[in-house]
Structure 1
Amino acid sequence: MAINDIKSFAHLSESDIETFAAELDTVRRDVERSLGVRDAAYVTRVIRAQRILEVAARSMLFASERRPAWLAGTAILAVAKIIEMMELGHNISHGQWDWMNDPEIHSSSWEWDFASPSSQWKKTHNHIHHTYTNVYGMDDDLGFAVLRMTRDEPWRPVHLVQPAMAVGIAAFFEWAIAVHDWAVTRRGSGTPDRHLLSTPTRELARKFGRQIGKDLLIFPALTGRRFRRTLSANAAALLVRNLWSFVVIMCGHFPDGAEKFTPGELAGETRGQWYLRQLLGTANFKAGPVLAFMSGNLCYQIEHHLFPDLPSNRYAEIAERVRGLCDKCDIPYTTGSLPKQFWLTSRTICKLALPDRFLRRTSDDAPETSSERKFLTVSLPSTRDASDWHGSDLITGERRGLRTALAAARSSQRKAAQERFGWQWIKSVVGTH
């Protein structure tokens, strides 16, 4: 099963978790107090740059009969759409810039250039996903209801095709997310399936009409005889944006180390435990300034889940303090290169397409799904009391927590594998004589 007791899994005491929460609250207060002109100027510059890029791309496509103009226009349009969705639409809709009190850059009024209506996306993403992050049965974004991303979900024959389904979701990501948000909104509002003209359905239909009309009809039509060339350029830009956003989102939630949780973990959850669940349930990928910007700063997915309403341009400096806190508490800070994180995510998609009987590890001790039970047979080295996991090592004085426990578990697994291999080798040698 997934994690049911986060305190036991993280090897932190109640006082440890309270201290952990207090330090993160301090980070929040420090950032909130320092927000000002520099941050406001950042978001207005991004909005201006994004609009200039889109106008430039649309203008180039008027000469799209020439291949260089088509390629340049398509590439620039894809960049403009990525910036609008990830650094602007996603982050503004989280309320990251509401403190400016600017009605044009406010979560209540911004409608992004994406197929899902902002109102529906904010309900499913902001209020459900960010509250119940990676809680199986409660977070609808855990596999988007179609991909099996944890062994807690029973295997079904349809999962055999989930690698192909993942490719389809990536290619049509904005439409898949829109339908997903619509379904969750309908279910949350108690709308019966037979009500075909419900409010959520009308909202989705209007947004679909707007997006299809704008990108696949109106703008291509404005270029006259270049209609088909412009149409293909717009479709290509949408495809690039969809593929890129899929990669970024998946790398932040499903590589090894991004843990899953059971609903039982939510019972009596404190602020500190919520912070801890966000930290353990997400993952970062390493990025320089350009890659960070093009990912909407979601290369800092950990920081985003800890502080979803703080401005994205502050995540890099927040990350330094969060990483330092993880070192202090001996908690893993899950990160890696973008290719590595995407490879691990893709491996999980392919691996969990198979029935559990074909998988070697258990649901309590697998790279993509683990629980506090994985430590039952593991003892820490250099301790006087192996049952006392949290606190400082009584011999070395070093902080002892989840990182130490995970290292001990890996060492125990390697030792067990070596013993099995040695015993099998002895049997094979004896069997030949």
Structure 2
Amino acid sequence: MRNDRELSPEQLAAFGAELDALRQRTLADLGEVDARYIRRIRSAVRACCWTGRALLMFGWFPPTWLLGSLLLGLGKILENMELGHNVMHGQYDWMNDPEFAGRRYEWDIVGPSDFWRHTHNHIHHTYTNVLGKDDDVGYGVVRLFPEQRWRPFYRWQPLWVALQAVLFQYSVAIQHLRLDKLYKGRISREEVRPLLRQFNAKLLRQSVKDYLFFPVLAVLFGSSGLAVLLGNALANLIRNLWTFTVIFCGHFTEQAAVFTPQSIEGESRGHWYLRQLRGSSNLSGGPLLHILTGNLSHQIEHHLFPDLPARRYAALAVDVREIAERYGQVYNCGRLSTQFATVLRRIWVYRLPNAEAASA
């Protein structure tokens, strides 16, 4: 469990001022190195995706089919995590390059980018881990904290989580539709209908590309359309499982905290920073892990500075950890295997009411 020191209003103000100063120093240092980096990531995404798709055109030949699927999956991971997610946060808007404009970027999953910019950039990053306000806390189907009210269907949440992981891009996509509010009568069908049209259009485009266009192209070239279709499905599955793991490890580990709506009333800048620190979890590892996670292995730094280029998080983490420890705050960081194990334990334990969970 966490053992953070409580801070006085004066200490909170000083804590926030130090993090503000760290952010401003980083902003002032942005330049060509950062621009060159994101362009290289874009090139890597294209190289992985097109090489993977080309190899899948050889059909069922095992080495090329497996390598093609893996390369396509890698390209989708890089596009989803290090390119799309970070660009949509406006991390590269200062470049004034339309291709890296946060409000215009459309990523390679079934969920429209406009949906993500609202549910993630605005709602989640404003109300990080605030019960009843941050829909990312369990995504409406998973109980991960004892503070969440228990409902009978949570008993089966290991099954719901497994399905969510396999179909994670769809889970992210429908989150913005707020079907739970529609079911409870809090919003009307008329409010949902335009969002549903937007979702269906993006779903159709993605499905046609992965499961119709390229398989048909393979048939026209005398190859196996089924091999290409299943290769695309495997690539999407790889991406879904990886992004699910990274996101859950960033928010729902043993030491991640949740907050009540009352606790953020009149919240100061320093308190907002403190909430991001306490509600987030980092993953330790090398440069390859950080790139493959879109640098969300530095989830703490991402929640503190969502609009700074993610490639800067590793350097920022050194200063953030020092500041956190100086103010008596737990800096939650651990290996992927360790952090994910605590996530799985939460999923298993909190499927039960609190009284039963305490003895589990």
Could you state the TM-score of these two structures normalised by the residue count of structure 1?
0.79
Q: Take 1:173 and 1:182, find their aligned partners in 2: how far apart are those partners?
A: 15
Structure 2 partner of 1:248: 246
For 1:258, which of 256, 259, 263 is the aligned residue?
256
CA distance in 2, matches of 1:358, 1:285: 30
Q: 1:185 to 1:105 in 2, by over 3 A?
A: farther
Where in structure 2 are the equivalents of 1:2-17 lying within 5 Å?
Answer: 10-17=5-12
Residue 74 of structure 2 corresponds to 79
Whole-angstrom CA distance in 2 between matches of 1:113 and 1:184: 23
Structure 1's 90 and 186: CA in aligned 2 closer, same or farther, altered over 3 A?
A: farther
Q: Is the 8 A contact 2:5 2:327 kept in 1?
A: no
| Alignment correspondent of 1:31 | 26
Distance in 1, Cα, partners of 2:42 & 2:4: 43
Larger-gyration structure (1/2): 1
Task: Name 2:236's counterpart in structure 1.
Answer: 238
Distance 1:287 1:260 in 2: 26
2:171 to 160, 172, 176: 176
Looking at structure 2, the residues matched to 89 and 146 of structure 1 have their Cα atoms a distance apart, in angstroms, of 26
Q: Of 273, 281, 292, which aligns to 2:279?
A: 281
Gap change, CA 1:215 and 1:239, over 3 Å in 2: same
How far off its partner does 1:198 sit? 2.1
Q: How does 1:281-360 map to 2 (within 5 A)?
A: 281-360=279-358
Report the residue type matching 1:356 in the other structure. Answer: N
| Residue equivalent to 2:197 | 202
**Secondary structure class of the residue paired with 2:108:** coil
- Is the alpha carbon distance of 1:97 and 1:184 closer, same or farther for their aligned partners in structure 2, counting shifts above 3 Å? farther
2:53 to 40, 51, 58: 58
Q: Against the structure 1 CA distance between its residues 45 and 9, is the aligned structure 2 distance closer, same or farther, given a 3 Å change threshold?
A: closer
Q: State the aligned residue count.
A: 354
Once the two structures are TM-superposed, the CA of residue 360 in structure 1 deviates from its matched residue by: 2.4
- Over 3 Å counting, the alpha-carbon distance change for 1:264 and 1:186 in structure 2 is closer
> Which digits, 9 at most, give the CA deviation of each residue in 1:195-235, with x for residues without a partner?
38722111100000011111011111110041001111000
Q: Distance in 1 between matches of 2:186 and 2:79?
A: 31
Structure 2: distance between partners of 1:214 and 1:36:
35
Q: CA deviation at 1:185?
A: 11
Taking the aligned partners of 2:171 and 2:245, their CA distance within structure 1 comes to 14
Query: What secondary structure, in the 3-state scheme, does the structure 2 residue paired with 1:63 have?
Result: coil
Which residue pairs with 1:214 in the alignment? 209
Deviation at 1:82, TM superposition (A): 0.2
Distance 1:9 1:55 in 2: 48
Structure 1 residue 90 and structure 2 residue 85: aligned?
Answer: yes
Q: Does the 8 A contact of 1:120 with 1:185 survive in 2?
A: no
Q: Could you tell which deviates more after superposition, 58-67 or 342-351?
A: 58-67
- How far did residue 98 of structure 1 move? 0.6
SS, match of residue 57 in structure 2: helix
Report if aligned partners of 1:124, 1:184 keep a CA contact under 8 Å in 2: no
Amino acid at match of 2:294: G
Hey, what's the Cα distance between the residues in 2 that align with 1:146 and 1:197?
A: 20
Q: Residues 197 and 264 of structure 1: is their aligned pair in 2 closer, same or farther, counting only changes over 3 Å?
A: closer
State yes or no: 1:47 paired with 2:42: yes
In structure 2, C-alpha distance between the alignment counterparts of 1:357 and 1:335, rounded to whole Å: 29
SS, match of residue 130 in structure 1: helix
Find the aligned partners of 1:230 and 1:274 in 2 and give their Cα distance.
47
The whole-number CA distance in structure 2 between the counterparts of 1:124 and 1:101 is 25
**SS of the residue 2:254 aligns to:** coil
Q: Identity across aligned pairs (percent)?
A: 43
Deviations 1:24-74 (A, max 9, x none): 001101000000010000001110111011111111111023111101100
Shift of 1:191: 8.9
- C-alpha deviations, 1:66-111, integer Å up to 9, x for none? 1111011001000000000000111101111011111111111110
**SS at 1:76's partner residue?**
helix
1:130 to 121, 125, 129: 125
Q: 1:180 Cα deviation (Å)?
A: 1.2
Give me the TM-score of the superposition, normalised by structure 2: 0.95
Aligned residues of 2:5 and 2:328 also touching (Cα < 8 A): no
Distance in 2 of aligned mates of 1:56 and 1:191: 47
SS of aligned partner of 1:198: helix
Structure 1 counterpart SS, 2:177: helix
Equivalent residue letter for 1:272: G
On the 8 A contact 2:45/2:78 being kept in 1, the answer is: yes
1:19 to 2:8 alignment: no
Is contact 1:191–1:198 with CA below 8 Å preserved after alignment? no
CA drift of 1:186 comes to: 8.2
- Long gaps (5+) in structure 1: 367-433
Q: Indicate the residue corresponding to 1:431 in structure 2.
A: none
State the distance in 1 between where 2:179 and 2:110 align: 15
Q: Residue type of the partner of 1:249? A: I
Which amino acid in the other structure matches residue 203 of structure 1?
Q
